[in-house]
Structure 1
Amino acid sequence: MELRHRALHVLQLTDPEEKAAQALDLHGHAATISIAENTILEPTAPLPGCPARPELRHHTAVARRSPATAAGRAVLIHAIAHIEFNAINLALDALWRFPGMPRRFYLDWLQVAGEEARHFQMLRTHLRSQLGHDYGDFPAHQGLWSMCEKTAHDIVARMALVPRTLEARGLDATPLIQHKLRSVGAPDALAAVRILDVILREEVGHVAIGNHWYRWLCERDGLEPVAHYALLVQRHEAPRAKPPLNTAARRAAGFSQAELDWLEHG
């Protein structure tokens, strides 16, 4: 199958390990695979393919616990693993859903899918080996995918509100999480900090991809990026960034000073 067909197939898989492994395998064939950029595709199963566990709840019904305890760290790492699992789905959805984009667009999101799959595997291994739990042991929410559904028919909104809004919030949150884990000092907590170092570094690249394609689309469609972003946030009720912003990471991901000013002051 071509890249976009396979991306849709992998998106529909329900087994987390199989989905991650196939996303990585697909990324491994990036240099040789045909993309089928202009093909119109239709899902043959519900999207995304979800495992029986974890139980999905509204985000307000998902408990949080202090990382000062091993149980609390397990809940925290599980929540981050769930975000990374969702991020695999988000990248795969961008791959199959939007025809007619340049070849580089699909290769960029293929890279993201592969890296998100590796992040998920790292966190799941940590849960199993360091904390005595597995993915699915705790309830989770589906907030990331709900924005995917809201922007299913607008590629500009998708680029604006998924990578450079929802995923960019991880750039702000990760250093704060790492600080809490370092304060704990337990071996598993410090190991988690090292995993988050890898994830943060690569997530800067993922947000940069979102920024690049958002601006490319705005230029194509004659839109002013900052003003149109404000319109999309209001239209789709997107969550606002929570201070303090990780301005260094956001600049590295391509946010302009005007965009940072808008995020901080609206």
Structure 2
Amino acid sequence: MRHFPSTAPELRQLALQVLLQTDPEEKCRLALAIADDVTLNGQAELNEPDGIPGRPVRPELVPPGQVGRRAMHTVEGRAVLIHALAHIELNAINLAADILWRFAGLPEQFYRDWLRVMKEEAYHFQLLSDHLQQQGYHYGDFTAHNSLWEMAAKTRQDLIARLALVPRTLEARGLDVTPGVAVKLAQAGDARAAEILGIIYRDEIGHVAIGNRWYLHFCTEQGLDPVALYPRLALQYKAPRLRGPFNLEARRTAGFSDKELQLMQQADQP
């Protein structure tokens, strides 16, 4: 990939500090403390240190099928769900921090965009963690899985694949399911959780849009067909199969083309 003349070593070093931090609350504090107008300069490649990503001792990471049941009709069941959502948001902080520090020599706006994403993910985690505590639980009380970060690890040397398979695939799935989960939480009497999911849903449309915009940007720069490339990347990196129903309105708002959406729906047919 051809590099661009502007990079952001200060921001990238700060993002790496966020990524390496093991305490979730301190990770959020560090992310939110980074100024929006932090200086961007230099083109230095950063060496990858040990300890990526920094994560707390708990929760215990298990295969997805072994994560606790998320029953809506009990306080604990809803807490398991909120915990799972908090874990997704903590992973999302790490994902944004990783894409910020790992890939050097990119346009300035690329770094500005992912700084915004990292800070909003930190805010989301704080909202969910605080709500979990109000229910009598803490982040780490339940098991969690590592699927989001596993895909980040697979694509650590391929920026286009990272953009295609993390924000445009794994995170975009939240656009499909979050509104329905919010409705169920509200029906179960947890209006605050439903309100938090509304905030997350609004922001995640923007995050997926950022992923889409930069995926298209780099595909165009390299003369690649973004629609034709996607299934090849999904196969190469063993991405999960896209399953409907799809939130077509949200996905369009987030930058998916009608052609892509049509292909998604066709692939989802039995």
Q: Do 2:209 and 2:254's aligned partners in 1 also have CA atoms closer than 8 Å?
A: yes
What residue is the counterpart of 2:265 in the other structure?
264
On the 8 A contact 1:8/1:43 being kept in 2, the answer is no
Q: 2:60 matched to which residue of 1?
A: 55
**Aligned counterparts, 1:110-259, within 5 A:** 110-129=115-134, 131-184=135-188, 186=189, 189-259=190-260
Q: CA RMSD in A?
A: 1.1
Residue 37 (structure 1) shift: 5.5
Distance in 1 (CA, whole Å) between partners of 2:214 and 2:84 is 28
Query: How far apart in 2 are the matches of 1:230 and 1:106?
Result: 27
Separation in structure 2 between the aligned mates of residue 81 and residue 95 of structure 1, nearest angstrom: 21
* Long gaps (5+) in structure 1: none
User: Is 1:9 the equivalent of 2:17?
Assistant: yes
Q: Percent identity?
A: 53
Alpha-carbon distance between aligned partners in 2 of 1:176 and 1:7, rounded to the nearest angstrom: 33
Aligned position for 1:23: 31
Runs (4+) of structure 1 moved beyond 3 Å? none
State TM-score, norm by structure 2.
0.94
Distance 1:10 1:36 in 2: 19
Specify whether residues 240 and 36 from structure 1 end up closer, same or farther in structure 2 by C-alpha distance, changes over 3 A only. Answer: farther
Q: CA deviation at 1:239?
A: 1.1
Show the counterpart of 1:93: 98
Q: Using the TM superposition, give the Cα deviation of residue 7 of structure 1 relative to its aligned residue in structure 2, in angstroms.
A: 0.6
Q: Deviations over 1:97-150 (max 9, x none)?
A: 011110000010000000000000000000011x11010000101100000001
SS of alignment partner, residue 231 of structure 1: helix
1:152-175 per-residue CA deviation (whole Å, 9 max, x = no partner) reads 000000010000100000011101
Aligned-partner Cα distance in 2 for 1:249–1:30? 27
Question: TM-score scaled to structure 1, two decimals?
Answer: 0.95
Question: What is the aligned counterpart of 1:64 among 65, 69, 72?
Answer: 69
**8 Å contact 1:4–1:36 — kept in the other structure?**
no
Is the 8 Å Cα contact of residues 68 and 142 (structure 2) preserved in structure 1?
Answer: no
Q: By how many angstroms is 1:10 displaced?
A: 1.2
Which residue in 1 is equivalent to 2:6? none
How much has 1:181 moved relative to structure 2?
A: 1.3
Q: Please identify which structure carries the higher helix content.
A: 1
| Matched position secondary structure for 2:40 | coil
CA distance in 1, matches of 2:48, 2:18: 11
Q: Secondary structure at the match of 1:132?
A: coil
Figure out how many residues of one structure are paired with residues of the other and give that number.
259
Equivalent residue for 2:51, pick from 39, 46, 50: 46
Q: Does 2:75 correspond to 1:75?
A: no
The 2-side partners of 1:103 and 1:115 are apart by 19
Q: What displacement does 1:261 show? A: 1.1
User: SS where residue 47 of structure 1 aligns?
Assistant: coil
Tell me if the contact between 1:150 and 1:236 (Cα under 8 Å) persists in the aligned partners. yes
